[in-house]
Chains A and B, each alone.
Chain A
Amino acid sequence: MTAAVPSREGPAPVLRVEDLCVDYFTDAGRLRACDQVSFELGPGQRLGLVGESGSGKSTMALALMRMIKPPGKIAGRVFVGDDELTSMDDNAIRSARMRLIGMVPQAAMSALNPVIRIRAQIADVLQVHEPAMPDAQVKARIAEVLEAVELRPEVANLYPHELSGGMKQRVCIAIAVALRPKVIIADEPTSALDVIVQRQVMDTIGRLQREMNIAVILIGHDMGLMAQFVDRLSVMYAGKLAEIGPTGELFARPTHPYTHMLISSLPTLGKKGVFRGIPGITPSLLSLPSGCYFRTRCPYAMPICSEVTPAQQAHGTDHRSSCHLSNVEGGLTGRIAAEAASVPDARMGGFS
């Protein structure tokens, strides 16, 4: 089903995901939360991953770290550098976590153990992955990473409840970079923070990943944040990768109607019109429509959409999507233009 991953020039990728699937086996039947996802990530690259709640973003993040628990099952392959995470035994995958592939958790507010000091929570990562490290060095490293995330070293002596939300998130970032992994997954790292702190935390993540040349996967649904932060953007819908490509290109020339709708739902200063949501809801993974999963909400659905699952197609280097419109003359862009011409009122200034 999946088209071959287009090969790119440049350094070898640090993260390679091939046909990653996550299935949950429940009483109600099999439920595929992540469906044949493939992509690559170069060193120091920033990839954004967007989609509505329930689209499989967080499931994919867990699957990349191999943290899917029964009744869930992972299929496909994940490589970090030359190490294949998906074939490792339990001990090897445990030592790969945070060392090869780090994580900044979604719920920083409650991700830290409430009853032990920050020092111990950073130290346990260091000690587990580098058992030979002498205590003095552990202590120095703790101060060093805290400084790297712009916290004073004394923070190590505090308990989580004594920190603000932004500080807790910084501690999590410090833990994520403590072992200088090749990849960090940041799952909505700022969703619980207020706007100003959000901005500062994102700046810290950006600075550290540049300095240490760590690749980052930023998960979220804030298209505005994505536009500013990531080099490449991927869009998930109902467990599938709908579209992936360079951020600028995706914003300028989306080739999947869902991407287009996400972009036009973004309020900008230029738009005087009404904020447009996306009509309809994400389909239940237990009763997905036939053919293309998005067709029930797609304004451009065609007869073929309910019959054939669209295959992934390349649009130039490093830009792929799965939509039947790509085979129609003019593609998505043509359809949008045609629609705008015929019913201008419905577009409410979207093209002003």
Chain B
Amino acid sequence: MRLSYVAQRVLLLFATMWMAASVNFVLPRLATGRDPIRERIIAESARGGGATNIGINEMIAEYRVQFGLDEPLPKQYVTYLWNTLRFDLGKSLSNYPKTVIGLITEALPWTLGIVTFSTITSFTLGTIFGALIAWPRAPRVLSYTVPILLTFSAVPFYILGLILIYFFAFQLKWFPIGGGYPIGTIPSFSLAFMGKLAYHAILPSLSMILASTGGWALGMRGMMVTIQGEDYMNYAEAKGLPDSRIFFGYAVRNAMLPQTTGLALSLGYLVAGAGLVEVVFGYPGIGSLLGDAISKFDYTTIYGIVFFLIVSLGVVLFIIDLLYPLIDPRITYEQ
């Protein structure tokens, strides 16, 4: 039954959340064994960065209460699970007293913007391109692009980002060197500001698009090659169908199924890659927030971000799974 499948899938989502939260709870306690909060706050203040010395005792006191560090471990664990389930991820150590979830909500739109844009663009371009390369009746020139695509797809996004920054931002000065918008401008919903936003988003997006289009194209090409050996392709030809109909209705339509599964499976990779691109470009999204938190030893923020991303990806996968029967009629989730 469809309903039981949904229930099963919801259960898996909660299992993922529970595992992520538990890892977050257990690891810090395993790694230090002593008082994690005091240790980190002292380490932090010793570096003289981020937080000022003024708030230390307050922070320690608050964290003791919040985590109930005097309570027995099982009780701490239950409290922790309950808090994370409500997305109460605590307060940032380096940006005290800002909450971690507050920082994430500020950074999220940036990341969401470039990740969604680049993923949709590269997936569409790559899929069309890969389908054409594999099509025997497409121009032969296309096949010469395969080695170039291979090279691009083998390189991590942020490495490509470094190359783009040097040539297009530093040497040619066509694009800004980094950031989400020009320093000194005040974010607003005006058209002019939106234009600046787009201008700043081009290079980060481009490094993801360039690097991942090749991957999608190669994946699609592989599927198309496999599908051309299928019986229904021969039969379609025997039916006297025109090439365009065979290409779209038979080859592409069938190759799209594994391609979409591929998209779902690589979301985690895409988000991680996007995070590093943000770090390279100083783009004010979640990746930069994470990089910043790491350099400032802001553990609550690190754990909060990771938990948040794991759960969001879980939710996205959940939605994709529910939508999948729409494109593949063979899957009905019936036992």
Contacts and interface: CB of A to CB of B under 8 A. Distances in A.
Q: Touch between A and B in complex, CB under 8 Å?
A: yes
Contacts of A116: 249, 253
B232 A125 contact: no
Which of B230, B240, B250, B329: most chain A Cβ within 10 A?
B240
Given A113-B249, A113-B250, A97 B232 contact: no
A208 B181 CA distance: 73
A110 to B, nearest CB: 4
Which of A97, A112, A114, A128: most chain B Cβ within 10 A?
A114
A159 interface: yes
Contact of B240 (A105, A111, A115, A129): A129
B140 to A, nearest CB: 13
Contacts of A159: 329-330
Contacts of B330: 114-115, 159, 161
B43 to A, nearest CB: 57
B242 A94 contact: yes
A99 B253 CA distance: 26
B92 to A, nearest CB: 49
A94 B250 CA distance: 16
B294 interface: no
A113 B238 CA distance: 13
Interface string A80-108: 00000000000000111111000101110
Interface string B218-260: 0000000000001110111111111001000110011001000
Given A105-B238, A124-B241, A125-B239, A115 B231 contact: no
Q: How large is the interface on B (under 10, 10 to 19, 20 to 34, 35 or more residues)?
A: 20 to 34
B255 to A, nearest CB: 11
Contact of A94 (B234, B235, B240, B249): B240
Contacts of B250: 113
A325 interface: no
Contacts of B71: none
A107 B231 contact: yes
B321 interface: no
Nearest to B137: A90
A302 B230 CA distance: 45
B242 A105 contact: no
B328 interface: yes
Contacts of B240: 94-99, 125, 128-129
Nearest to A69: B136
Interface string B25-66: 000000000000000000000000000000000000000000
A103 B253 CA distance: 23
A137 B59 CA distance: 79
A125 to B, nearest CB: 5
A344 B46 CA distance: 106
A315 to B, nearest CB: 35
B239 A114 contact: no
Given A96-B240, A99-B240, A128-B245, A115 B257 contact: yes
B253 A97 contact: no
A124 B236 CA distance: 10
B235 A128 contact: no
A67 interface: yes
Which of B231, B245, B257: most chain A Cβ within 10 A?
B231
Interface string B178-200: 00000000000000000000000
A198 to B, nearest CB: 19
A103 B328 CA distance: 27
A116 B231 CA distance: 15
A67 B237 contact: yes
Nearest to B330: A161
A172 B239 CA distance: 10
Which of A105, A109, A111, A112: most chain B Cβ within 10 A?
A111
Interface of A: 65, 67, 94-99, 103, 105-107, 109-116, 124-125, 128-129, 159, 161, 172, 175
Given A105-B235, A114-B329, A115-B253, 5 more contacts: A113-B253, A114-B232, A114-B254, A128-B239, A128-B240
8 contacts: A67-B238, A97-B239, A105-B238, A111-B235, A115-B253, A115-B328, A128-B240, A159-B329
Interface of B: 230-232, 234-242, 245, 249-250, 253-254, 257, 327-330
Q: Which 8 A-B pairs have the closest CB atoms?
A: A97-B240, A111-B235, A110-B231, A107-B231, A103-B238, A159-B329, A111-B231, A98-B240
